[in-house]
Every structure is written in structure tokens, then in C-alpha cells.
């Protein structure tokens, strides 16, 4: 009987240690869908408030020959929110996932905020990836209209979070519908993108919007070693000098401007977009 009790006590202690360990280990702040098969891996990072399904057509091009890892960030598009999100923490979590899963020299493809994460990953972990594709993102979005912009330390995002969380569902949906007019010309995709925003956690929405707008990657671009394809929406041609000034430290950059459409280039100028990818990812 004593031996049995001793065994049960050891088992209980072990169980408590395990529970404590897992309680202290945060879950990764994104959902991952793995598809396709191939030695070369591609990691797809969607933009702000978007589902990984934004890459559905792109991914289909590469699944026959590549292993694809498609992310949807926590708090976006119906994926449960997690803790207090930040751009930097999300970047570190993606890098940890790549390392922990032994994904060797992946190609990183990111849109908008996801493009910013691709740039940050390539700058902070320059030996991790083989190539990056940045779809309509800038190293510092705020500097496009304010060239003297400087990011703030310990930036207070609570006003924006409060603004987002205090809106009714109807008000928030209307705001997103109005925003789509400046982001996509393909009207068949507008309601889909709005649905992703509406399904997003409002606190995450406000926090990451604020945090990403305060992010400035310009000075660290010099660290990037890998080939980098930068695909930009057609209206950015009007800001070409400012855009290219932001990318001047990225010596591996290949910049190209879409012929038509807006922010969601993969929808608005699909043929051109696929042609650029095909030429870059051989």
C-alpha cells in the first residue's frame, strides 16, 4: 500500500509540473494551415485583419511543388485572440515556428502588414529565409505622408483600442465597407474582406493597427541579404520618389508597380501579380 501511495504522489507531482509548464508556455499567436508538398517551403503571411485565405489562389499555384504554411494571426478573421498582441511579438513567434519546425530557408510572402513582417523577419533573421515577396507594404507607412515621422517608444494604443471597441457592430461594419473602396476595386472580393474584419477581435484590431502604424523598419533594411521582390499598387507610382526613398537601404530589392487596381494586388491585377511571382520564384 505504501509503495502504491508513493507512486501516486510521484504521478501527481509530475502532473502538476506538466500543468505548470504548459500554463507558462503561450500558444503561438496564429493558426497555421499546412498544404502542398515539396522540399522548398513557402510561408504566407496575410495582411491586417485578413484570413490566410487571401492567399488561396496564390497558394494553388505552388502547392504542387512547394510545402505551404499559411498563417492567420490570432484575433483576426475569426481566429481567437491571444493576450496583448504586438508586431514585434508576432515577428518573433513566426521566427520561432520556422526554427522549431525545421523549415529550411523558406520563401516568405507577405501582404500589407504581413509584408512588413516579411521585411522585419528578413532583417532580424537574415540567414533564415531564401527569398521574400512583399505585396504592397512599406517599411514605414506613416512616413509616406510624414517623411519626418519617428516611431514612439512605449506608444499608447489605448485611445484607438477604445475607439474600436466602443463602436457598435453596425458602425464597425459600415466603417470597413467604406474602407474597402480605397483598398480593392474587385467588388466580388469586397464583402469577403469586410467579413474577415467583422470577424476580428476589436481589441486586437485596434492594438495592431496602432502598433503597425508606429513601426519603422527603414534603418534595418540594410541587414537583409536575400533577394526581395516588392510589388506595389498602381497608385504608388504617384509617390514613387517617397516609396523608393524608403526602400533605398534594401540593396536586394526588385521593385515593380502594378498596372491597375489598389491595395489587394492579388485580386485587382491578378495576371500581372502571378507573372511577377513566377519570374521571381523559380
Q: CA torsion sign, 94 to 76 to 62 to 282?
A: negative
Domains of the chain, earliest start first: 31-142+151-280 (3.40.50.1820)
Positions of the chain with pLDDT lower than 50, given as ranges: 1, 3-25
Q: Which of 117, 215, 116, 204 is nearest to 160 (CA)?
A: 204
Calpha distance 132→212 (Å, rounded): 19
Phi, psi dihedrals of residue 188, rounded to the nearest 5°: -70, -20
Strand order in the sheet with 67-73: 30-36, 67-73, 41-45, 107-111, 131-135, 228-232, 253-257
pLDDT of residue 282: 85
Which three cell numbers mark 197?
474584419
pLDDT of residue 20: 34
pLDDT of residue 26: 53
Calpha distance 109→62 (Å, rounded): 12
pLDDT of residue 27: 82
Amino acid at each position: 500500500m505504501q509503495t502504491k501511495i508513493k507512486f501516486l504522489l510521484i504521478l501527481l507531482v509530475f502532473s502538476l509540473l506538466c500543468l505548470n509548464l504548459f500554463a507558462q508556455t503561450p500558444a503561438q499567436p496564429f493558426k497555421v494551415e499546412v498544404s502542398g508538398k515539396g522540399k522548398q517551403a513557402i510561408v504566407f503571411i496575410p495582411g491586417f485583419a485578413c484570413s490566410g485565405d487571401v492567399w488561396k489562389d496564390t497558394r494553388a499555384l505552388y502547392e504542387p511543388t512547394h510545402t505551404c504554411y499559411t498563417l492567420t494571426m490570432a484575433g483576426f478573421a475569426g481566429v481567437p485572440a491571444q493576450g496583448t498582441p504586438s508586431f514585434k511579438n508576432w515577428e518573433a513567434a513566426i521566427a520561432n515556428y520556422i526554427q522549431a519546425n525545421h523549415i529550411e530557408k523558406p520563401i516568405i510572402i507577405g501582404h500589407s502588414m504581413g509584408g512588413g513582417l516579411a521585411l522585419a523577419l528578413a532583417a532580424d533573421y537574415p540567414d533564415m529565409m531564401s527569398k521574400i515577396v512583399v505585396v504592397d507594404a512599406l517599411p514605414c507607412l506613416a512616413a509616406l505622408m510624414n517623411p519626418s515621422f519617428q516611431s514612439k517608444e512605449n506608444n499608447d494604443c489605448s485611445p484607438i483600442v477604445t475607439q474600436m471597441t466602443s463602436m457598435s457592430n453596425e458602425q464597425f461594419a459600415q466603417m470597413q465597407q467604406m474602407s474597402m473602396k480605397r483598398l480593392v476595386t474587385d467588388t466580388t472580393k469586397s464583402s469577403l474582406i469586410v467579413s474577415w474584419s467583422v470577424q476580428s477581435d476589436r481589441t486586437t484590431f485596434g492594438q495592431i493597427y496602432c502598433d503597425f502604424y508606429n513601426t519603422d523598419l527603414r534603418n534595418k533594411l540594410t541587414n537583409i541579404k536575400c533577394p526581395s521582390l516588392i510589388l506595389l499598387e498602381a497608385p504608388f507610382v504617384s509617390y514613387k520618389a517617397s516609396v523608393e526613398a524608403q526602400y533605398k537601404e534594401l540593396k536586394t530589392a526588385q521593385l515593380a508597380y502594378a498596372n491597375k487596381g489598389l491595395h489587394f494586388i492579388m485580386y485587382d491585377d491578378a495576371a500581372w501579380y502571378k507573372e511577377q511571382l513566377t519570374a521571381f520564384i523559380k
